[in-house]
């Protein structure tokens, strides 16, 4: 009887071991490397380089390969999060950054993750630089980025990346003083991001010397390309071109009777463009059309084409027309 009980217990023990082995073997496990450089570190390094070159799809593939080899690789999770942010998947981006934060062990990894939060936050609010969109420096997203910056600097005061990317954050929020201060700090540290910080600092200095009086003026100064709608808003808000023209244009009073219906029809023809009804800068475009600025007229097909980009020659022609009229 005792022998039978012992046999049953042994059978149960062996069965439990077998089930455990099967469960472990069926669970997720890291992929085995296929070559000497098929490592999570190498793929993450390559992914970061591709990310800096704005090759987001290629960078995402490298981070995915890194995570297959090591599902707990903090930098790969953070890199994958940044790829998602640049591709517009902000929920996925912050989820990946949470995973990166969870698996971060060294100070370098922790700083990398915190900088990732700053970058993802900034990218998610890139619309702040669009004409017609308002973002104040004290908005919650800037404060959240500043908290991440403070933590990163506390961990490694000599790391330049928190200063550079926090500078980009302030620049996106149009806080030029803070942005310039942080870019200058990167230059003083003379470590990483020196070239980018130098270009950004010089840009901030140019804008501050130009002293744009409006938010629109600052935004136009920061973007590399501007559209017809952007120029219309710039002229109306920054130059106050309607007021300027009104002062320079002689007033002619016509007291002759005019049919009200015909007058309304004539006025509508002067300011109508068929493609601006839902545009956020419609009021500025109509103001420019009423004034009549060379280079910003309605096209023969009745459209204004507000999103069409302006080249240097066309912009110079517009400025020349304004100078002649004032």
pLDDT value at 2 more than 50? no
- Looking at per-residue confidence, does 284 or 72 come out higher? 72
Tokens encoding 2: 């005792």
What average pLDDT does the segment 245-250 reach? Answer: 62
Best-predicted range by mean pLDDT among 8-17, 50-59, 221-230, 309-318?
50-59
What average pLDDT does the segment 245-258 reach? Answer: 57
> pLDDT at position 21, please?
42
> pLDDT at position 248, please?
61
What average pLDDT does the segment 34-38 reach? Answer: 60
> pLDDT at position 198, please?
96
What average pLDDT does the segment 298-314 reach? Answer: 87
* Domain 33-105 matches domain 106-223 at the CATH topology level: yes
**Architecture category of domain 33-105 in CATH:** Alpha Horseshoe (1.25)
CA angle, residues 287, 289, 292, in degrees to nearest 5:
110
Domain boundaries, the chain: 33-105, 106-223, 225-250+265-325
Domain boundaries 106-223, corresponding CATH code: 1.25.40
Q: What is the DSSP string of 225-252?
A: --BHHHHHHHHHHTS-HHHHHHHHSPP-
Tokens encoding 186: 């990167």
Entry field: residues in the chain: 326
pLDDT in tens, 187-224: 999 999 999 999 999 989 988 887 776 777 777 677 66
- How many helices and strands, by DSSP H and E, does the chain display? 16, 0
By C-alpha distance, which of 100, 191, 110, 119 is closest to 151?
A: 110
pLDDT value at 304 more than 60? yes
pTM of the model: 0.68
């Amino acid at each position: 009887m005792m022998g039978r009980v012992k046999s049953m217990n042994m059978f149960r023990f062996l069965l439990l071991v077998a089930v455990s082995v099967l469960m472990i073997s069926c669970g997720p496990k890291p992929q085995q490397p296929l070559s000497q450089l098929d490592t999570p570190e190498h793929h993450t390094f390559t992914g970061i380089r591709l990310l800096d070159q704005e090759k987001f799809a290629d960078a995402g593939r490298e981070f995915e390969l890194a995570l297959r080899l090591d599902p707990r690789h903090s930098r790969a999770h953070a890199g994958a999060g940044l790829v998602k942010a640049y591709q517009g998947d902000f929920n996925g981006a912050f989820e990946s950054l949470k995973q990166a934060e969870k698996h971060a062990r060294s100070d370098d990894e922790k700083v990398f993750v915190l900088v990732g939060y700053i970058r993802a936050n900034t990218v998610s609010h890139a619309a702040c630089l669009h004409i017609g969109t308002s973002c104040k420096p004290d908005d919650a997203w800037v404060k959240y980025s500043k908290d991440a910056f403070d933590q990163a600097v506390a961990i490694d005061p000599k790391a330049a990346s928190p200063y550079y990317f926090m500078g980009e954050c302030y620049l996106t929020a149009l806080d030029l003083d803070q942005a310039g201060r942080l870019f200058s700090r990167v230059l003083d540290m003379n470590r990483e991001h020196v070239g980018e910080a130098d270009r950004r600092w010089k840009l901030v200095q140019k804008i501050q010397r130009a002293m744009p009086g409006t938010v629109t003026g600052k935004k136009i100064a920061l973007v590399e390309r501007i559209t017809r709608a952007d120029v219309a808003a710039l002229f109306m808000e920054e130059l106050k071109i309607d007021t300027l023209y009104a002062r320079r244009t002689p007033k002619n009073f016509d007291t002759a009777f005019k049919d009200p219906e015909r007058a309304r029809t004539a006025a509508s023809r002067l300011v109508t463009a068929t493609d601006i009804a839902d545009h956020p800068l419609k009021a500025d475009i109509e103001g420019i059309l009423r004034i009549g600025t060379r280079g910003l007229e309605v096209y023969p097909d009745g459209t204004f084409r507000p999103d069409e980009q302006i080249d240097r020659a066309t912009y110079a022609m517009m400025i020349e027309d304004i100078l002649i009229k004032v």
